Amino acid sequence: MDPIKVDFSGKDKSAKKEIVIPPESAGLKTVISLILTAVTALVAYYFMLPAFNPKDTTLYLYLGVVAVSYIVFQALLSKALSKPEYTPYVKRRAIVPGIIIAILAVTAVIGYIVGSQFFRAKAYSKIIDVRTDSNFSEEIPEEDASSFSAIPRLDEDSASQIAARALGDLGEMGYVSQFTVYDRNTQINYKGTPVRVAPLQYASIIKWLFNTREGFPGYVIVDMANESAEFKTLENKIRYSPAEHFNKLLKRHLRFDYPTYLFADATFEIDDEGNPYWICARLDNTIGLFGGTDVIGAVVVKANSPDGESKYYTVEELKNDPELQWIDRVYDANLIVRQYDYYGRYRGGFWNSILGQKNVINTTSGYNYIAKDDDVWMYTGVTSVTADQSIIGFVLVNQRTKEAVYYNVTGGTEASAQSAAEGRVKDLGYTATFPLLLNIGGEPTYFLSLKDVSSGSSIVQQYALINVKQYNNNKMGANGRDLAECLSIYKSALESTGIKVDINPEDVVDVATKEDETDSQSGAQTDTNTDKPAASDGEGTASGKVTDIRTAVISGESVYYIKLDSGDAYYSVSASKSQDVIILNKGDSVTVKFSGSGKIIKADSLEIN
């Protein structure tokens, strides 16, 4: 009799083989699972909006969601969760989706490794081409009286607050409290003037329901020099926007029209006639699947076109086509900074960036914009990786063409200049804006606005000029309540060291002050075209509803001009005399005590009724 053989090794495959029991109507349930998976794929595509492009990470997540959904539907329809005997059947049905998920994961990992900075450091350093044979004093135009008078004085935060005030005009159009200013505005050159343009967004989802059929009635344009804002009404309203929903959402509109394109965040711009457009940069990952992001073109969408009219332009067309020169923002500032950091970090190879760090540089924290050659140039300081408060130069990059120029200038970082400017008014507690780079007398100079943020309104109170090279020398800086005063002090400081400055501070005109004086002179006489007098004479009190609000900065003081429905005059109220004026809106009822007469009358006090 042969001995009984028992295998205790656990290698008996027949003992481990699962019995696959298909559920009742298995074929029908598979068809239903496929249909539900297709529905899931459509819904997921509508909201996830992946590009059908292997370089889009969202595509891998989307395909994974679709594959997993099929497995889930099979499990639910076969009731495998409550009947374990059907689990082997579901596992078998999950083989193909599992293979798909595995292929996606392997592809993504390989694509990431192939494009990693560890293996492709040199390629990363060449994404941006930087010219270094430059001279700051020769290539950056020296400021004169007119250019200094018109330099931007607002940062993005202050511009947003001023833009919000311009929405009072919407009340006259029947849109009281329906819209707010979009949380992102764009600095551009508009007819040679630095401005910020801000589209609108709905004040709430309920207000979207009531207004989406007509669209947004216009946009706000903020003059960065005279610190004023104006609401521009459009005959054809803006239909497509990042603030819209469903099919009018700009991102969805672009995806349906350009299913394979990778897009950066859209920027809002206007052409020389004031027509609104969305500039949507098309991206490509130039290293591996996911590395080396760069711009290869842009889709220009006519924002107020009923059908979202759009056209694609290559980078070369954007650079060379004269009809497209009004476009200022193709390359996002953050993308430029990232590319320059690759250039500064990896031009000596990957290991040098970590170990020896020879000639390794990077940008400082922050950037700003300057106007040059009718284009917007982003600039930021450049410092060595071991530096703290000092820079070794600046890099300027054209945001339309990506032309990059490095200027070898040693001195303090932008943060150091902010600290220096704030130190000059330490007793007042003002906060300095991120500096603007100027050329004054051939000297690189930081210009900063000093804001009073204690009231939450970010009112500009003073201005400061800090010499880049001698930022830590208190004598080589200046601050003043107006531009002329600030420049006069700074000019004296430069000339005391033998640096000649060919700009007369007396010729520098505060744009806001000049406009106010012009209005006062032109309005001093009685208006012969109306039966109403220009304003009441002498001292008195005026009450009524606010129909218009305008702002200006005069000698560093924020002044508000209020017009009431009870007359034609504007009443000027400084923020220091009445903080209520800061929160005033069109339609509010107020009482103004005044003295004097004319088109513009100085108010002694203002009270909100």
Confidence band of 458 (pLDDT split at 50, 70, 90): confident
Rounded distance between C-alpha atoms, residue 317 and residue 311, angstroms: 12
What are 311's strand-pairing partners?
300
Over residues 518-524, the mean pLDDT reads: 40
Mean pLDDT, the chain, whole residue set = 88
Q: Is the pLDDT of residue 171 over 80?
A: no
Over residues 585-608, the mean pLDDT reads: 82
Confidence band of 109 (pLDDT split at 50, 70, 90): very high
Residue 576: both structure tokens together: 């220091």
Q: Is the pLDDT of residue 306 over 90?
A: yes
% helix, strand, coil for the chain, step of 5 = 35, 30, 35
Q: Could you give the C-alpha distances from 264 to 133, 267, 285, 469, in angstroms and in order?
A: 31, 9, 12, 37
Rounded distance between C-alpha atoms, residue 480 and residue 556, angstroms: 8
Per-residue pLDDT reduced to its tens digit, 369-384: 998 888 999 999 999 9
Rounded distance between C-alpha atoms, residue 587 and residue 604, angstroms: 21
Per-residue pLDDT reduced to its tens digit, 465-489: 999 999 989 889 999 988 999 999 9
Confidence band of 442 (pLDDT split at 50, 70, 90): very high
Per-residue pLDDT reduced to its tens digit, 29-56: 999 999 999 999 999 999 999 999 999 9
Give the residue carrying structure tokens 């900075």: 117
Rounded distance between C-alpha atoms, residue 439 and residue 491, angstroms: 12
Distance of CA 474 to the CA centre of its chain: 34
Task: For the chain, give every domain's residue range.
Answer: 13-114, 150-330, 336-509, 512-608
CATH fold, domain 512-608, is OB fold (Dihydrolipoamide Acetyltransferase, E2P) (2.40.50)
Rounded distance between C-alpha atoms, residue 353 and residue 357, angstroms: 5
Closest CA to 488 of 505, 473, 476, 502: 505
Over residues 108-130, the mean pLDDT reads: 97
Confidence band of 6 (pLDDT split at 50, 70, 90): low
Rounded distance between C-alpha atoms, residue 574 and residue 581, angstroms: 8
Q: Which pLDDT does position 511 carry in this prediction?
A: 55
Q: Which pLDDT does position 583 carry in this prediction?
A: 78
Closest CA to 224 of 128, 317, 135, 152: 152
Over residues 510-538, the mean pLDDT reads: 41
Q: Are 231 and 220 in contact (CB under 8 A)?
A: yes
Q: Is the pLDDT of residue 17 over 80?
A: no
Closest CA to 451 of 429, 420, 482, 483: 429
Q: Is the pLDDT of residue 515 over 50?
A: no
- Say which amino acid occupies 17: K
186-190 and 193-198 beta bridge pairing: antiparallel
Confidence band of 509 (pLDDT split at 50, 70, 90): confident
